[in-house]
A and B are shown apart, each in its own frame.
Chain A
Amino acid sequence: MDDLGILRTLVLALPAAPLAAACVCAALGRVGAGSVRRFAVGFAVVHLAAICGSVLLAGNALQNRATEPGGFTPFAVPGASGFATAGTTYELFPVTPAASVQFYLGLDGFNLPLLVLAAVMTLFAILVTGKTITDRPGSFFGWLFVLEAFCLAAFLSFDVLLFYAFFELTLIPSFFLIGRWGVGGGRRDAARKFFLYTLFGSLFTLVGIVGTVLENPTPIGASGMPSYEPPVGNEVRKAGPLTFSIPQLMKNVPAWEGIIPVRVMQAEAVASAARVHVATALRQPNAAAKREAAAELASAEKALAAARKDLDDRHDLRLWLFLALAAGFLVKIPIVPFHTWLPAAYGESPLGITLYLAGALAKLGTFGMLRVVIPLAPDASVLYGLPLIGTLAAVGIVYAAFCAYAQSDLKLLAAYSSVSHLGFLALGLFALNTEGFGGALLHMINHAASTGMLFALLAFLYDRYRTTDSNSFGGLIAKYPRYAFFFMVAALAGVGLPGLCNFPSEMLMMAGLFDARNTRWVGYGLAATAAAGIFLSSWYAFTAVRKILFGPVIEPAQPAGDTPPVDTTRSETRTFVLFAALCLALGLFPQPILDTVKPEAETLAKIVTKARERVTPGLTDPIGVGKGATNR
């Protein structure tokens, strides 16, 4: 078996392995808590190693693959031969006799880093949870592995419905993890709220997917072959088979955006020719010719009206489909004002799960924007992305920062700071250029590292005092010097200190926002807001640091029966060191990730550039930004 063959097997095995591990956990649950935990840690390490191995193996193939212009080019697709991007032979079911939903998994530049992320976060979630789960630990770790499996599968999916299915499936394990092992009294409500809010949003996404698929069949040219260029002269484009494949849809959507306006022009040409015929016929005595010409004109006018209506319909629909597609991801990320489920869910979950929700699951939302919304609605993304979602994101950055400042519970502070950072991420995405996409994807990883570390640090406090209320802590640096050091690292990484993880990605996204092709005040205004967000984040982060680390020692009463608290234990130190090393490594060496992401980011940037040309007539590239961006 060659590399590609091995990778194909791995693409199937990587998401399947956690499912098998979940079964083992459920079975081991009867043996004892200790053995489950040892198995879970062991499996997570092995699985992470396997994923890192496959990513290294894939790195070579990624650079060498033959990319097709106009769409993502997944490779190592199980069920496909060679580098074929036409999909796979694994069919799930035919929606119409000609169009099937496929079990279409594969690797590309966007999902490789995120696979590692999901596995790393699983390991950390298990390490942070440690021995705190005493109620049915077998089921707990089992559900966590199920959640990981669905996350991985969603990242790997290239069929739009398959992606949606896995995206939605993550709700089930999360519901149980929050509702059953939550730490607060409101855990059941929090789980229900999380489930219902996300479902409500994602059902709109489902309708959006249905609409997008039905409105964008593969265009067929005169030769009977797919043809994506706008027709020339009186060529026609017919609607061919429907498709659910994201790479194929990425070609179809721009094609129809180009074809339908040309159809209006063609109809106009026919109508003006008919008018000439009428004019010439009027000058002749032949009554039959006059009638014929008049009939020709009438039918041409009718066709013209129909073509114009088609165009208007498509333009109207564009906005609605964009909003519908984005709805589920807006809730998942979450973007203010769709974030109201988040404080409850993050606050009530056990900290390991909060870490996973913020570190891996929230990334499904931003990844959905990158994988589904922007590729399948490029024109609408250009028109409405920054003005609508960008504005909401910018408002969210500031609003959530103030909310974070106001929280006395450190867990909620971290939750709101996460909302603030993810708003930044969404803003970077809708800058719609290579810097923005690359920076956003890098920020997905960086945010997971910094926020994950923060939640892991809070678990330290929670394990010792059963509370994370900042009012009951003070001067911890005197009591826990090692802990204070790690806390400072996390805070500095969160605010984007150069050399630590958030800095490069925030800089890249900011650079993306200063794109001359975005409407000036929108781009600059939003960039300025984002910069203010960074300032605000240091404000609330250092306020919290001052409060709990410095000043006179204050600590809450210890729960009865606990051993006296000590500074970080060996296993805690190990976790924190790993996190800190991750933050440092990502801050110093972001380039490998950016290189991995680059081909896909460029593909997407090209699609968006074309969309920009379509929706802003007369736009030329005044200072060569488009070229510059793609050459980076």
Chain B
Amino acid sequence: MTNPQLLEPVRTAAAEAYKLVIPEIALVGVACVLFVWAAVSPRKLLSLVLAIIGVGLAAALTLWYADGSTYVDGHRYYSPFDPTGVAAVVRWIALIGAGIFCLVAYGEVTRETAGEYYGCLLVLTAGASLVGRANDLVTLYLSLEMISIPTYVLLYLPVKTRAGQEAAMKYFLLSVLSSAVLLFGFSYLYGLTGSTNLRAVVDVLADAHLSAGTVSPLALVAVVCVVVGIGFKVTAFPFHFYAPDVYQGGPTGVVAVLATVPKVAGFVALARVLGLLVPGGGLPFDAVNTTVPLMLWLLAAASMIFGNVLAILQADLKRMLAYSGVAHSGYILMGLAAAGAGSPGGVAAVIFYLAAYGFMTVGAFAVLAATSTASRPVETVDDLAGLAQDRPWAAGMLAACLVSMIGLPLTAGFVGKFQLFFAAWDAPIGTPMGNLFRALAVIAAVNAAVGAVYYLRAAGAMYLRSPLTPFGAGRSSPALWAAGICVAGTVALGVYPKPLVDAIHAAMTTAVAK
């Protein structure tokens, strides 16, 4: 007979759980309205307005409804959601991203598909936001699927070409495969600990590890499966191979989503499963005696090197950005690996870089979406030639994004890279990993210089060459406005990063410690 008093926190945690995800519920609600409306009377502008209203509503609810109030420490082993720590930061990243994606896509959606398109966008925004607070293997998996499933629809919706269909199919099959591998890993974690609650899983494994001194081999199998499953989502080498084809074939607005949302969500999820989002908590796959940091180290180094070297070989801009995304995943993995080995600032650096990466990547895709027309497509580096003469604003914004990707000062990319280098160097050297993280910082520095080769080629094409065929007259479009927002964000985070860095540091310390 279980003591009813013991069950009390379980009941309240379950009963109060919905209060932790009210903005997400609002997003999905508005999405449902959009789906229904689209079936009745499809309207393009109306869908955009509704979607923006949905995002605004979620933001207003976030501001108005302080969600930590019903969550108490006792809930951490019972509640499916954990609103402490970086949850709020991730939610804001998702919401700001959603607003920008709505604008980027506007030029591409048609009247018939607008409702579904924006509905799916809201659902995946809710998914991304939920990943930041998922505290249960089941909610985490569902949140990740809430991102994946809408992206299948998004990829297929505007498709008219064979290449587009192939891209959608390829993405669908590989994404399903990766989800299956991830779920397989989760099942091992449940089997090992008897709980699906993430905090419980992490704490039990960490305690077992501390007392036994070694990690159960099954836990290693689990973590390998999780890393592989998430590796697909974040396009880490060697799980990146679908990305170039899909990016090239997919519509630009959707590719902007694909390049960022799964990546942000994937890294946050990985940090959560590795137990890095809890200050002072034990590491379930501890740094000292396991091969987990080494695995992440290898993935990081390989992603940077292969991503950058392969990107140099690309003439197609979207393929180039795909490989550049692989390289950026490598930089982020470096921070995660260092954090997993005990570097204090690792996770904060990762979260900052995710925000920076989001701004600069979406900005670049938005400019491509805004300048590319059916009669004058912008697909290759050569197509960019002379953009600065005909469309100076668009060129300036793309250049700002590229400069940020290179990692030059005054842009978010510099601050992010600096923090990642700092975190890598800060990893303790008394572990079996020894000086490897310092070496990784050097590898990353070399890679940043290698990366500059192809970013600079694109920038040089825009500014130093004259157009092969003239661009149409510049007109403002929602995508261009989206690019403007992204560039403003990139520059703001580069010139005065203090507010965001402070918010992340504060978030990391408010997380409920063990």
Asked whether A165 lies within 8 Å of B498 as measured between CB atoms, the reply is no
The answer, among B408, B425, B446, B448, for a CB contact under 8 Å with A171, is B408
A535 at interface by CB-CB < 8 Å:
no
Nearest residue (CB) in B for A324 is B442
Asked whether A92 lies within 8 Å of B409 as measured between CB atoms, the reply is no
Q: What is the 8 Å Cβ interface bit string for chain B, positions 268-302, against chain A (1 contact, 0 not)?
A: 00000000000000000000000000000000000
Asked whether B344 lies within 8 Å of A207 as measured between CB atoms, the reply is no
Asked whether B496 lies within 8 Å of A207 as measured between CB atoms, the reply is no
The answer, among B403, B421, B497, B498, for a CB contact under 8 Å with A210, is B421
Binds A, one of B257-265, B316-324, B364-372, B458-466: B458-466
Asked whether A195 lies within 8 Å of B414 as measured between CB atoms, the reply is no
Q: What is the 8 Å Cβ interface bit string for chain A, positions 202-245, against chain B (1 contact, 0 not)?
A: 01101100110110000000000000000000000000000000
Nearest residue (CB) in B for A189 is B460
Within 8 A of B (CB), among A165-203: 165-166, 168-169, 171-172, 175-176, 179-180, 187-188, 191-192, 195-196, 199-200, 203
Asked whether A191 lies within 8 Å of B425 as measured between CB atoms, the reply is no
Binds B, one of A94-102, A107-115, A515-523, A577-585: A94-102
B418 at interface by CB-CB < 8 Å:
yes
Beyond A95-B345, A179-B460, is A211–B438 a contact (Cβ under 8 Å)?
Answer: yes
Please give, as numbers and ranges, the residues of chain A lying within 8 Å of B409 by CB-CB distance. Answer: 164-166, 168-169
CB of B263, distance to nearest CB on chain A (Å): 23
Please give, as numbers and ranges, the residues of chain B lying within 8 Å of A196 by CB-CB distance. Answer: 449, 452-453, 456
The answer, among B403, B422, B457, for a CB contact under 8 Å with A214, is B422
The answer, among B344, B415, B498, for a CB contact under 8 Å with A96, is B344
Asked whether A191 lies within 8 Å of B460 as measured between CB atoms, the reply is yes
Q: How far is the CA of A171 from the CA of B438 in the complex (A)?
A: 26
Sample of 7 A–B contacts (CB below 8 Å): A165-B414, A168-B414, A179-B460, A180-B464, A203-B445, A207-B425, A207-B441
- Majority DSSP secondary structure for residues of A touching B: helix
Asked whether A93 lies within 8 Å of B498 as measured between CB atoms, the reply is yes
Q: How far is the CA of A166 from the CA of B460 in the complex (A)?
A: 21
Given contacts A95-B419, A175-B456, 5 further A-B contacts (CB under 8 A): A165-B414, A168-B409, A187-B464, A199-B452, A203-B448
B410 at interface by CB-CB < 8 Å:
yes
Asked whether B498 lies within 8 Å of A179 as measured between CB atoms, the reply is no
Please give, as numbers and ranges, the residues of chain B lying within 8 Å of A187 by CB-CB distance. Answer: 464
Please give, as numbers and ranges, the residues of chain A lying within 8 Å of B408 by CB-CB distance. Answer: 168-169, 171-172
CB of B344, distance to nearest CB on chain A (Å): 7
Query: Which 9 pairs show the lowest CB-CB distances between chains A and B?
Result: A165-B409, A200-B449, A203-B445, A93-B497, A179-B464, A93-B498, A93-B501, A188-B464, A207-B445
Q: How far is the CA of A165 from the CA of B414 in the complex (A)?
A: 9
Beyond A199-B406, A207-B445, is A191–B464 a contact (Cβ under 8 Å)?
Answer: yes
B426 at interface by CB-CB < 8 Å:
yes
Please give, as numbers and ranges, the residues of chain B lying within 8 Å of A164 by CB-CB distance. Answer: 409
Within 8 A of B (CB), among A590-621: none
**Number of B residues, CB within 8 Å of A:** 38
Q: How far is the CA of A175 from the CA of B408 in the complex (A)?
A: 13
Q: How far is the CA of A214 from the CA of B418 in the complex (A)?
A: 13
Beyond A168-B408, A195-B456, is A94–B505 a contact (Cβ under 8 Å)?
Answer: yes
Asked whether A91 lies within 8 Å of B464 as measured between CB atoms, the reply is no
A382 at interface by CB-CB < 8 Å:
no
Q: How far is the CA of A195 from the CA of B453 in the complex (A)?
A: 9
Asked whether A203 lies within 8 Å of B446 as measured between CB atoms, the reply is yes
Asked whether A214 lies within 8 Å of B414 as measured between CB atoms, the reply is no
Q: How far is the CA of A324 from the CA of B442 in the complex (A)?
A: 9
Within 8 A of B (CB), among A42-92: 91-92
Q: How far is the CA of A165 from the CA of B501 in the complex (A)?
A: 18
Beyond A96-B344, A165-B410, A165-B414, is A203–B449 a contact (Cβ under 8 Å)?
Answer: yes
B502 at interface by CB-CB < 8 Å:
yes
The answer, among A93, A191, A204, for a CB contact under 8 Å with B415, is A93
Please give, as numbers and ranges, the residues of chain B lying within 8 Å of A161 by CB-CB distance. Answer: 418
Q: How far is the CA of A94 from the CA of B497 in the complex (A)?
A: 9
Q: How far is the CA of A91 from the CA of B442 in the complex (A)?
A: 27
Asked whether A199 lies within 8 Å of B449 as measured between CB atoms, the reply is yes
Please give, as numbers and ranges, the residues of chain A lying within 8 Å of B501 by CB-CB distance. Answer: 93-94
Nearest residue (CB) in A for B496 is A92
Q: How far is the CA of A166 from the CA of B409 in the complex (A)?
A: 7
Nearest residue (CB) in B for A96 is B345
Q: How far is the CA of A141 from the CA of B422 in the complex (A)?
A: 37
Asked whether B410 lies within 8 Å of A180 as measured between CB atoms, the reply is no
The contact size tier of chain A is: 35 or more
Q: How far is the CA of A398 from the CA of B421 in the complex (A)?
A: 38
- How many Cβ-Cβ contacts under 8 Å join chain A to chain B? 92
Q: How far is the CA of A91 from the CA of B496 in the complex (A)?
A: 9
CB of B17, distance to nearest CB on chain A (Å): 31
Nearest residue (CB) in B for A168 is B409
CB of B435, distance to nearest CB on chain A (Å): 9
Within 8 A of A (CB), among B449-483: 449, 452-453, 456-457, 460, 463-465
The answer, among A97, A171, A180, A214, for a CB contact under 8 Å with B505, is A97
Nearest residue (CB) in A for B502 is A94
Asked whether B456 lies within 8 Å of A92 as measured between CB atoms, the reply is no
Within 8 A of B (CB), among A365-413: none
Nearest residue (CB) in A for B453 is A196
Within 8 A of A (CB), among B414-436: 414-415, 418-419, 421-422, 425-426, 429
Q: How far is the CA of A93 from the CA of B415 in the complex (A)?
A: 9
CB of B438, distance to nearest CB on chain A (Å): 7
Which of A95, A165, A188, A213 counts the most B-chain CB atoms under 10 A from its CB? A95
Please give, as numbers and ranges, the residues of chain A lying within 8 Å of B422 by CB-CB distance. Answer: 95, 210, 213-214
Nearest residue (CB) in B for A162 is B409
Nearest residue (CB) in B for A164 is B409
Q: How far is the CA of A165 from the CA of B418 in the complex (A)?
A: 11
Q: How far is the CA of A330 from the CA of B29 in the complex (A)?
A: 60
Within 8 A of B (CB), among A127-180: 161, 164-166, 168-169, 171-172, 175-176, 179-180
Please give, as numbers and ranges, the residues of chain A lying within 8 Å of B345 by CB-CB distance. Answer: 95-96
Q: How far is the CA of A188 from the CA of B458 in the complex (A)?
A: 12
Nearest residue (CB) in B for A202 is B449
Please give, as numbers and ranges, the residues of chain B lying within 8 Å of A211 by CB-CB distance. Answer: 425, 438
Please give, as numbers and ranges, the residues of chain B lying within 8 Å of A179 by CB-CB distance. Answer: 460, 463-464
Please give, as numbers and ranges, the residues of chain B lying within 8 Å of A207 by CB-CB distance. Answer: 421, 425, 441-442, 445
Please give, as numbers and ranges, the residues of chain B lying within 8 Å of A203 by CB-CB distance. Answer: 445-446, 448-449
Q: How far is the CA of A192 from the CA of B344 in the complex (A)?
A: 37
Within 8 A of A (CB), among B482-514: 496-498, 501-502, 505, 509
CB of B248, distance to nearest CB on chain A (Å): 25
Which of A166, A191, A199, A324 counts the most B-chain CB atoms under 10 A from its CB? A199
Q: How far is the CA of A605 from the CA of B419 in the complex (A)?
A: 33
Asked whether B406 lies within 8 Å of A210 as measured between CB atoms, the reply is no
Within 8 A of B (CB), among A287-325: 313, 324
Q: How far is the CA of A213 from the CA of B464 in the complex (A)?
A: 39
Q: What is the 8 Å Cβ interface bit string for chain B, positions 303-345, against chain A (1 contact, 0 not)?
A: 0000000000000000000000000000000000000000011
Q: How far is the CA of A313 from the CA of B434 in the complex (A)?
A: 11
Within 8 A of B (CB), among A557-600: none
Please give, as numbers and ranges, the residues of chain A lying within 8 Å of B497 by CB-CB distance. Answer: 92-93
CB of B25, distance to nearest CB on chain A (Å): 34
Asked whether B418 lies within 8 Å of A176 as measured between CB atoms, the reply is no
Asked whether A176 lies within 8 Å of B456 as measured between CB atoms, the reply is no
CB of A627, distance to nearest CB on chain B (Å): 39
Q: How far is the CA of A175 from the CA of B402 in the complex (A)?
A: 14
Beyond A92-B496, A206-B445, A207-B445, is A176–B463 a contact (Cβ under 8 Å)?
Answer: yes
Asked whether B425 lies within 8 Å of A172 as measured between CB atoms, the reply is no
Which of A94, A213, A313 counts the most B-chain CB atoms under 10 A from its CB? A94
Q: How far is the CA of A511 from the CA of B409 in the complex (A)?
A: 39
Beyond A97-B505, A168-B408, is A214–B464 a contact (Cβ under 8 Å)?
Answer: no
Please give, as numbers and ranges, the residues of chain A lying within 8 Å of B457 by CB-CB distance. Answer: 192
CB of A493, distance to nearest CB on chain B (Å): 35
CB of B193, distance to nearest CB on chain A (Å): 32
Q: How far is the CA of A214 from the CA of B457 in the complex (A)?
A: 35
